[in-house]
Amino acid sequence: MAKLYFRYGTVGSAKTLNLLAVAHNYQQQGKKVLLVKPALDTRFGFAHIRSRAGLEKPADVLLHPDSVLPFADFEACDCLLVDEAQFLSPAVIDQLREVTRRLKVPVICYGLRTDFRTHLFEGARRLLEIADAIEEIKTTCNFCNRKAIFNLKFLNGQPSLEGPTIDLGAEEKYLPACHACYWSQLGLDENSA
């Protein structure tokens, strides 16, 4: 049976670079892979999946919270690769699960686990509930050498807990942080959460 994978990491952990490498490997073997992303992610263009390292491929499918997946388009596919899966609705995640079950096509989702306030994104929560395999893509804290587990947001150059949960950005807005540095940068006690 095909599996649903959730590969998560903090900002800057090379999730999209990993996705593009997997896509390349499938294509090198003459296999068909479809690249999927949420339509709301317009950071690097409406229909592009781009890593911070500069590698880029066009997205084949753009998803909205109420999207109905085109199952017929996926039948001849060897794998679905989903970028920024944390932004998908639980209903769309459930449909991706159905792709693995009904079509026997593996689906590999990449995304953040938590927002800048350390709370699960809806799409990540659903993936953690139903994925066959959950894999962490690790990186180090921007401020020390410990493993990063949180996404620290900056507003006007200062660490912040303000603003909407979904606030698109890259290094200019978010940095990976370990538990201790996250709270220290915010000027809060670790027990304030």
Which CATH class, in words, describes the domain spanning 4-136? alpha beta
For strands 107-111 and 79-82, give the pairing. Answer: parallel
Average pLDDT of every residue of the chain = 89
Distance CA 147, CA 39 (A): 31
75 given a catalytic annotation: no
The tokens for 107 are: 């689906």
Distance CA 59, CA 111 (A): 16
Going by C-beta distance under 8 Å and a sequence separation of 6 or more, which residues neighbour residue 126? 90, 93, 94
Is pLDDT of 90 > 70? yes
Is pLDDT of 170 > 60? no
Ranges in the chain annotated CATH 3.40.50.300: 4-136
Is pLDDT of 57 > 70? yes
Catalytic pick among 56, 75, 84, 98: 84
What mean pLDDT do residues 86-114 have? 96
What mean pLDDT do residues 153-176 have? 78
pLDDT at 88: 96
Of 55, 116, 118, 43, whose CA–CA distance to 84 is shortest? 43
Distance CA 11, CA 19 (A): 14
pLDDT at 192: 54
Q: Are the C-beta atoms of residues 4 and 131 closer than 8 Å to each other?
A: yes
pLDDT at 167: 66
Question: For 10-44, what is each residue's pLDDT tens digit?
Answer: 999 999 899 999 999 999 999 999 999 998 776 66
pLDDT category at 172 given cuts 50, 70, 90 is: low
pLDDT at 40: 76
If you search the block for the tokens 């109905």, which residue do you land on?
68
Helix (H) or strand (E) holding 37: strand 33-38
Distance CA 89, CA 129 (A): 13
The whole model's pTM is what?
A: 0.91
134 φ/ψ angles, rounded to the nearest 5 degrees: -120, 120
